[in-house]
Amino acid sequence: MELAAARTRARAAIALLLALAVASAFLCGAAQARHHHAKHTKRNSARAPGPAGASRHGGRPVSPPAPPPSSAPGAPAPAPGSGAAAVYDVVKDFGAVGDGVADDTDAIKTAWDVACQDDGDGVVLAAAGYSFLVHTTTFTGPCQGSVTIQLDGTIVAPSDPDKWPANNKRNWLVFYQTHGVALRGAGLIDGKGQKWWELPCKAHKGQGGSSGHGGSCDSPVALRFFNSNNVTVQGLKVQNSPEFHFRFDGCRGVQVRGLSISSPAQSPNTDGIHVENTSDVLIADTAVSNGDDCVSIGAGAMNLHIENVTCGPGGHGISIGSLGKQGTRACVANVTVRNAVIRQSDNGVRIKTWQGGSGSVSAVAFENVRMDAVRNPIIIDQYYCLSKSCDNATTAVFVSGVSYAGIRGTYDARSPPIHFGCSDAVPCTNITLADVELLPASSGDTVGDPFCWNVYGSAATPTVPPVSCLNDGVPRNFADGSSSLKCY
């Protein structure tokens, strides 16, 4: 009896001790949880406003485990540095609607701002299956870390020009000081430019002149990168911009790859990619079909490499210029265009300058370019003018050191296959040709003669058509002093 009673008392004591231990652990855990919550609440109170899901993690949403690879078409590409980058989903985390009707500007801009303030890698995700209406906005840096915009859905602009702010009709999506930014994905950016092109102030082909517009007819550039270094744009489809589709201005270190850019052949001033005051640029593996220059290279462009680019049908080909308008100084140097195709365009590879300017175009190489029914396959035009009243001048941008090698294909016989129209005051020098073969697109047409005016250079191999109109050597008054005309 006494032994049984002792065992009962021992069991009771053990049960009591266990109960006290459990209660103690519970109370300590609750206290620690309250302390942990208080610390995060205090830290997040000073951060930029964001969705609740983001603020619980200090403004940086935690990336979910990476799903297994998907073969479904349109599946978003994995974030760079898989598993390391924080993902800021504009729909799930920032409340974007994505129906193409609701205004998602604030959601996408806030996602950018939060990602930009966080250090480390961040991905702003606009997922497939959504269409985001975005009004004119500026994505501003510099950012604390690197930010990628992963666009696998669609971004659309307001279609009615009246919906745009009266004082901001020149840009749609601007990236300012966004060093290291990447814009990539399988998505679409649609500028909805149709109503802009129809404005009465636009000059259209067949209506009193070439495509272009008056100074009072501002239209937005779809994507402008301004004062941004180490920029990457890859894989996207961009269409129907009211004016230029891309503009890179004041940038250094730009890579553009794998883009599809399109707008109707009659859409005015819709350059595909415009580069000015920008250096160290690669444009590759890209197709452009539009109403103006496929790629346009403006003043201050240096060290450009363009490769595997297809232009047309339609458009004005690959152009350096126009340069020197209204007496301005323009400098372009070290440009290579290689392995390009230009189809049914008004121009092939072109250099265009206004009378009265200054500066220089130098060290330019056009290599292995295929022409398909192009109206002006090879053209230097130093009398560029958009009216019939441009006066001759005693100064001009100096064009020197331009080579054409492996330029082959067919041309529209309405214009000469080769046109070198250089300034009376400042001739073109050191123009060289090799392996050039250009035949009429229509079998009934005869091969046209090249046009040459005040141009010096040579043909290293026989050409079709023969270019016998080049002046040999260098002009007498340029023998010693031409270097002073060059910018670099």
Q: 14-60 pLDDT, tens per residue? A: 444 444 443 444 333 433 333 333 332 222 333 333 333 333 333 33
What percentage of the chain has pLDDT greater than the value 90? 72
Residue 297, φ and ψ in degrees, nearest 5: -115, 115
Beta-sheet strands, E only, within 312-353: 318-323, 329-343, 349-353
Non-local (6+) Cβ contacts of 257 within 8 A are: 232, 233, 234, 235, 282, 283, 284, 285, 286
pLDDT of residue 66 exceeding 60: no
What is the identity of the amino acid at 336? T
The pLDDT of residue 294 is: 98
Mean pLDDT of 74-87: 57
The pLDDT of residue 29 is: 40
Residue 480 designated active-site: no
47-51 long-range CB contacts below 8 Å, 24 or more apart?
Answer: 47/117, 48/110, 48/113, 48/114, 48/117, 49/110, 50/93, 50/94, 50/110, 50/114, 51/93, 51/94, 51/95
Between CA 144 and CA 126 the distance in angstroms is: 21
The pLDDT of residue 181 is: 98
Domains recognised in the chain with CATH numbers: 89-199 (no CATH), 243-385+394-488 (2.160.20.10)
Mean pLDDT of 139-150: 98
* 282-291, 302-311, 379-388: least confidently modelled range: 379-388
The pLDDT of residue 392 is: 86
Catalytic residue, from 274, 316, 346, 419: name it. 316
For the whole model, what pTM was predicted? Answer: 0.82
Beta-sheet strands, E only, within 109-258: 121-126, 131-133, 137-140, 146-151, 154-156, 171-176, 182-184, 188-190, 202-203, 212-213, 221-226, 229-234, 237-239, 246-249, 252-257
Between CA 154 and CA 63 the distance in angstroms is: 23
The two beta strands, 121-126 and 137-140, are unpaired
Residue 292 designated active-site: yes
Mean pLDDT of 317-344: 97
Between CA 208 and CA 194 the distance in angstroms is: 20
Do residues 436 and 470 make contact, with C-beta atoms less than 8 angstroms apart?
no
Cα angle 300-276-170, degrees, rounded to a multiple of 5: 140
Locus of tokens 């307001």? 158
Helical spans, DSSP H, in 74-184: 105-117
Beta bridge partners of 440: 411
The pLDDT of residue 83 is: 54
The two beta strands, 202-203 and 212-213, are antiparallel
418-472: pLDDT as tens digits: 999 999 999 999 999 999 999 999 988 999 999 999 999 999 999 999 999 999 9
The pLDDT of residue 129 is: 98
The reply to whether omega before 465 is within 30° of 0 (cis) is yes
Strand, helix or coil for residue 44: helix
Greater pLDDT, 279 or 33: 279
* 56-65, 265-274, 405-414, 430-439: least confidently modelled range: 56-65
Locus of tokens 């485990």? 65
Nearest alpha-carbon partner for 217 in 175, 269, 259, 271: 269
* Banded pLDDT at 481 (limits 50, 70, 90): low
pLDDT of residue 417 exceeding 50: yes
| Burial label, 117 (beta-carbon count in 10 A; 0-12, 13-18, 19+) | middle
Mean pLDDT of 144-160: 97
Please give the mean pLDDT across all residues of the chain: 84
